[in-house]
């Protein structure tokens, strides 16, 4: 086994070994039951100390990827064979919604997103319900929150008797811009940032700014249903470009840019909702080039930023030299959704009009919420909290992959996202609406795939949240697997 090491990298050598082996397992190069090199052989082969290899194997074992057999060595864990993401979806056509909806508000109100959102609130308050549906982070690791919140509130008490800047507090904008520069190599200053009520408000401001009723808008297919409902509510016409393992299909994107001359491309480039796919570096560059060529703006939603297990490519906005992309971020997925703090990165001439729209919308975001996030960032708690979430989500994802392997039929396939909160399971010929209802009556709430496709014209799939305890994951997936197997044997 060849393990290329970067001796001058800031990443510890044992982590480089772990990542390489993990990748070999995820891509199928190492298969279930395959024997790993002995500790001595790998140490000699890679020119490292035996203890370094032992450390790497220990972490892989803790992640559930490999298992030791006494006297025989280490093997790829037989209960785990993540399926390759490359076959995550069946071939799909582009979805073109020819007509804008006739009653935009009604469409949005009764739309799939509204229904799912309300059902999700209800499910979360039902005792004993296993909620595999929501895209929420795990709420552990926030024990310091009351103390931090008290300190933050003290600092803003005076300003509570005043209105504040529509673009948000300078201190918070400075902290976020620093984070974006350091972590994503983005060329951002506090003057490019607008703090919004969650990223949802940012998305809404941008879409209303660029898109008029009847305009064409491109989305990934599937995509986040919250965006679909927003687009329909304002009478936009939506084109769904099939998602591949590397991001949206660029050939089909170009064809549709040429034919329809859309105003905007919406992309969740990192840890995509609902598939968990991260658009590759090459795809990001080409997507930006295409948008420039066809004079179409990009709305890049990075709601799951910071929840990646391994490094991800820089955002499209970091490559943007012509102010064609607007970037949206949020603290909903890394701290808590209820705090309602998100932000927009808008460069160039579009900044001022968007700040004015923000003012017209709701004046500004609560200074208390802004101060709490600011205090989190200043105290260094945020960085630790992210590391905690990443480790915890990695473990729970491993538990879900093992449960899927155990309970789901071989015809099912699923993505193995590099982080985030959910993965995407697809099974040809299984009516997921039926499985969804049956699971609900057995206390398991899932997100059915249909609402994530424009015009609800997709293939059968489920989005499953893995940020639960391993015990709940096992019980929830066992119920789903049983229902799916029962359906398949009824119809065989
Ligand atoms: C892709 C995506 N964008 C935006 C949002 C909205 O998040 P916020 O709470 O920041 O408004 C969500 C929430 O689920 C999401 O999944």
Residue 225 falls within a domain, yes or no? yes
Task: Based on the fold, state whether residues 263 and 325 are members of the same structural domain.
Answer: yes
Residue 2 falls within a domain, yes or no? no
Q: Tell me the C-alpha distance between 491 and 331, whole Å.
A: 45
E runs forming strands in 280-417 = 297-301, 325-330, 342-345, 413-414
Q: Tell me the C-alpha distance between 327 and 297, whole Å.
A: 11
Report the pLDDT value the prediction gives residue 83, as an integer from 0 to 100: 45
- Ligand 1 atom showing the smallest separation from residue 331 Cα: 10
- Ligand 1 atom showing the smallest separation from residue 201 Cα: 11
Half-sphere exposure of 403 (CA within 13 A, CB side): 25
Q: Tell me the C-alpha distance between 402 and 473, whole Å.
A: 10
Find out whether the beta carbon of 117 lies less than 6 Å from any atom of ligand 1.
no
CA 124 to ligand 1 center in whole angstroms: 17
Report the pLDDT value the prediction gives residue 332, as an integer from 0 to 100: 94
Q: Check pLDDT > 80 for residue 37.
A: yes
Task: Based on the fold, state whether residues 181 and 308 are members of the same structural domain.
Answer: yes
Report the pLDDT value the prediction gives residue 81, as an integer from 0 to 100: 47
Find out whether the beta carbon of 173 lies less than 6 Å from any atom of ligand 1.
no
Q: Whose CA is nearest to atom 2 of ligand 1?
A: 303
CA 216 to ligand 1 center in whole angstroms: 22
Task: Based on the fold, state whether residues 339 and 395 are members of the same structural domain.
Answer: no
Task: Based on the fold, state whether residues 276 and 371 are members of the same structural domain.
Answer: yes
- Ligand 1 atom showing the smallest separation from residue 340 Cα: 9
* Average per-residue pLDDT for the chain: 89
Of 329, 355, 382, which one is at a domain's C-terminal end? Answer: 382
Q: Tell me the C-alpha distance between 186 and 72, whole Å.
A: 49
Find out whether the beta carbon of 200 lies less than 6 Å from any atom of ligand 1.
yes
- Residue 178 gets the label, from left (phi > 0), alpha (psi -120 to 50) or beta, of alpha
CA 113 to ligand 1 center in whole angstroms: 12
336: helix, coil or strand?
coil
pLDDT band, very low/low/confident/very high, at 103 (cuts 50, 70, 90)? very low
Lowest-confidence pick of 73-82, 265-274, 389-398: 73-82
Q: Whose CA is nearest to atom 16 of ligand 1?
A: 273
Determine the distance from the C-alpha atom of residue 223 to the mean position of all C-alpha atoms in its chain, rounded to a whole number. Answer: 11
Task: Based on the fold, state whether residues 176 and 313 are members of the same structural domain.
Answer: yes
CA 438 to ligand 1 center in whole angstroms: 28
Report whether 97 contacts 454 (CB < 8 A): yes
Task: Based on the fold, state whether residues 122 and 177 are members of the same structural domain.
Answer: no
Mean local confidence (pLDDT), 444-459? 90
Find out whether the beta carbon of 134 lies less than 6 Å from any atom of ligand 1.
no
Residue 314 falls within a domain, yes or no? yes
Find out whether the beta carbon of 224 lies less than 6 Å from any atom of ligand 1.
yes
CA 430 to ligand 1 center in whole angstroms: 28
Find out whether the beta carbon of 445 lies less than 6 Å from any atom of ligand 1.
no
Find out whether the beta carbon of 202 lies less than 6 Å from any atom of ligand 1.
no
Q: Tell me the C-alpha distance between 359 and 353, whole Å.
A: 10
Q: Strand 461-465's sheet: what is its strand order? A: 413-414, 422-426, 461-465, 447-448
> Residue 349 class from Cβ within 10 Å (0-12 exposed, 13-18 middle, 19+ buried)?
exposed
Task: Based on the fold, state whether residues 459 and 479 are members of the same structural domain.
Answer: yes
CA 126 to ligand 1 center in whole angstroms: 23
Residue 442 falls within a domain, yes or no? yes
Q: Tell me the C-alpha distance between 149 and 156, whole Å.
A: 11
Pull the structure tokens for residue 334.
Answer: 């890394």
Q: Check pLDDT > 50 for residue 280.
A: yes
Residue 200 falls within a domain, yes or no? yes
**Substitution candidate for ligand 1 out of 113, 114, 121, 199 with most atoms within 8 A of CB:** 199
Which is more confidently placed, 393 or 158?
Answer: 393
Task: Based on the fold, state whether residues 50 and 149 are members of the same structural domain.
Answer: no
Which CATH number fits the domain that encloses residue 58?
1.10.10.10
Q: Check pLDDT > 60 for residue 400.
A: yes
- Ligand 1 atom showing the smallest separation from residue 200 Cα: 11
Residue 102 falls within a domain, yes or no? no
Task: Based on the fold, state whether residues 176 and 236 are members of the same structural domain.
Answer: yes
Which is more confidently placed, 232 or 221?
Answer: 221
Mean local confidence (pLDDT), 191-200? 98
Report the pLDDT value the prediction gives residue 411, as an integer from 0 to 100: 86
pLDDT band, very low/low/confident/very high, at 80 (cuts 50, 70, 90)? low
**Substitution candidate for ligand 1 out of 219, 226, 269, 370 with most atoms within 8 A of CB:** 226
Question: CB under 8 Å to 472, separation ≥6 — which residues?
Answer: 130
Report the domain count for the chain. 3
DSSP-derived letter for residue 136 is P
Which CATH number fits the domain that encloses residue 446?
3.90.1150.10
Report the pLDDT value the prediction gives residue 340, as an integer from 0 to 100: 96
Task: Based on the fold, state whether residues 120 and 172 are members of the same structural domain.
Answer: no
Report the pLDDT value the prediction gives residue 87, as an integer from 0 to 100: 55
Q: Tell me the C-alpha distance between 234 and 358, whole Å.
A: 18
Residue 7 falls within a domain, yes or no? no
pLDDT digits (tens, 9 = 90+) for 460-488: 999 999 999 999 999 999 999 999 999 99
> Residue 7 class from Cβ within 10 Å (0-12 exposed, 13-18 middle, 19+ buried)?
exposed
Name 68's bridge partners.
Answer: 74
Find out whether the beta carbon of 101 lies less than 6 Å from any atom of ligand 1.
no
Q: Check pLDDT > 90 for residue 157.
A: no
C-alpha radius of gyration, the chain, whole number: 23
Of 382, 409, 425, which one is at a domain's C-terminal end? Answer: 382
CA 6 to ligand 1 center in whole angstroms: 37
Report the pLDDT value the prediction gives residue 480, as an integer from 0 to 100: 97
Residue 99 falls within a domain, yes or no? no
Percentage of the chain with pLDDT > 70? 94
Task: Based on the fold, state whether residues 326 and 216 are members of the same structural domain.
Answer: yes
**Substitution candidate for ligand 1 out of 227, 273, 276 with most atoms within 8 A of CB:** 273
Task: Give buried/exposed letters for 188-209 (b at 16+ CB in 10 A, else e).
Answer: bebebbbbbbbbbbbbbbbbeb
Which is more confidently placed, 51 or 191?
Answer: 191
Pull the structure tokens for residue 28.
Answer: 């199928």
DSSP-derived letter for residue 419 is B
Task: Based on the fold, state whether residues 350 and 219 are members of the same structural domain.
Answer: yes
Find out whether the beta carbon of 337 lies less than 6 Å from any atom of ligand 1.
yes
Domain holding 23, by residue range, is 13-76
Q: Whose CA is nearest to atom 3 of ligand 1?
A: 303
Find out whether the beta carbon of 330 lies less than 6 Å from any atom of ligand 1.
yes
Mean local confidence (pLDDT), 414-434? 92
């Amino acid at each position: 086994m060849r393990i290329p090491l970067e001796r001058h990298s800031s990443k510890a050598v044992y982590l480089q070994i772990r990542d390489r082996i993990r990748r070999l397992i995820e891509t199928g190069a190492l298969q279930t039951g395959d024997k790993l090199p002995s500790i001595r052989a790998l140490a000699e082969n890679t020119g490292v100390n035996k203890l370094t290899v032992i450390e790497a194997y220990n972490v892989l074992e803790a992640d559930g990827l490999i298992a030791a057999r006494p006297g025989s060595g280490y093997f790829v864990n037989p209960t785990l064979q993540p399926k390759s993401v490359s076959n995550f979806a069946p071939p799909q056509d582009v979805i073109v919604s020819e007509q804008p909806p006739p009653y935009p508000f009604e469409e949005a109100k009764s739309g799939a997103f509204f229904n799912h959102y309300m059902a999700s609130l209800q499910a979360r308050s039902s005792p004993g319900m296993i909620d595999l549906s929501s895209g929420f982070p795990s709420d552990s690791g926030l024990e310091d929150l009351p103390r931090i919140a008290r300190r933050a509130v003290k600092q803003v008490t005076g300003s509570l008797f005043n209105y504040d800047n529509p673009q948000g507090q300078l201190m918070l904008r400075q902290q976020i811009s620093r984070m974006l520069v350091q972590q994503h190599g983005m060329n951002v200053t506090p003057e490019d940032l607008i703090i919004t009520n969650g990223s949802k408000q940012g998305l809404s401001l941008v879409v209303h700014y660029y898109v008029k009723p009847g305009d064409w808008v491109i989305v990934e297919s599937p995509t986040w249903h919250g965006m679909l409902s927003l687009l329909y509510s304002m009478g936009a016409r939506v084109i769904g470009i099939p998602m591949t393992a590397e991001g949206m299909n660029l050939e089909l994107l170009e064809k549709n840019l040429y034919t329809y001359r859309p105003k905007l491309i919406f992309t969740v480039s990192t840890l995509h909702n609902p598939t968990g796919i991260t658009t590759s570096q090459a795809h990001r560059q080409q997507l930006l080039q295409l948008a420039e060529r066809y004079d179409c703006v990009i709305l890049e939603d990075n709601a799951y930023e910071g929840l990646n297990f391994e490094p991800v490519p820089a955002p499209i906005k970091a490559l943007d030299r012509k102010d064609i992309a607007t970037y949206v971020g949020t603290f909903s997925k890394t701290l808590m959704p209820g705090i309602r703090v998100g932000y927009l990165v808008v460069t160039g001439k579009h900044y001022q009009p968007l700040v004015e729209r923000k003012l017209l919308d709701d004046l500004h975001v609560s200074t208390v919420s802004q101060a709490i996030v600011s205090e989190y960032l200043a105290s260094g708690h945020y960085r630790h909290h992210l590391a905690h979430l990443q480790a915890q989500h990695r473990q729970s994802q491993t538990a879900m992959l093992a449960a899927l392997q155990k309970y789901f039929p071989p015809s099912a396939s699923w993505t193995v996202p590099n982080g985030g909160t959910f993965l995407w399971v697809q099974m040809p010929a299984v009516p997921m609406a039926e499985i969804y209802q049956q699971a609900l009556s057995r206390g398991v709430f899932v997100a059915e795939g249909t609402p994530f496709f424009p015009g609800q014209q997709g293939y059968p799939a489920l989005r499953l949240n893995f940020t639960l305890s391993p015990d709940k994951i096992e019980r929830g997936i066992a119920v789903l697997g049983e229902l799916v197997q029962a359906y398949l044997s009824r119809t065989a």
